[in-house]
Structure 1
Amino acid sequence: KFLFSGLKQCKYCIVRSLLKMILTFSSPSIKTFHGTLRLCLPGLRSMKHDITRTSLMKQLHSTSLLRSADLVSVYDAGGVRKITLNNPRKRNVLSFAMLQELEAQFKESDAETSVRCVVLCSSGPVFSSGHDLKELKIDSGDTAKIQEIFSLCTRVMTSMRRLSVPVIAQVNGLAAAAGCQLVATCDIVLATDKSSFSLPGSTFGLFCSTPGIAVARCVPQKTSAYMLMTGNTINAQEALTSGLVSKVVPEEKLQEETDRVTSAIVAKSRSVLALGKKFYYRQIQMGIEEAYAEGEQVMLHNLQYCDSQEGINAFADKRKPHWEHTDRKV
Structure 2
Amino acid sequence: MTGHAALLVTTEVIGADDLPAGLSGRKWQAASVSLLPGRLGRPYLSASWETEVVLAVGEGGVLGLLPVQRVKSRAVPSAVLDPGVLAPRLFGEVEDARSYLFVGGCADLVAGAVTCAALPAGQAESVRRALVARARAEAERRGLVATALYVRDEEVAAFTPAGQDGSPQQGRRRAVSEGSPEPDDPWRERIGRLATIAVPPDDERFLAGLGHSGRRTVLKDRRAAAEAGLRCTVMPARQAVDAGAELVAAVKRRHGIEEHPRLLRMRLSRWAAEPVGERIAFAVHADDAAQVCLAVTFACAIGGRLEIYETGVADDTPHRHEAYVESLIHAPLRHAMDRRLTALDLGLDAETPKTRRGATLSPVWAVRLT
Return the TM-score normalized by structure 2.
0.22
Bigger fraction of residues in helix: 1
Q: Which has the larger radius of gyration?
A: 1
**Greater share of strand:** 2
Higher RCO (CA 8 Å, separation ≥ 6 residues): 2
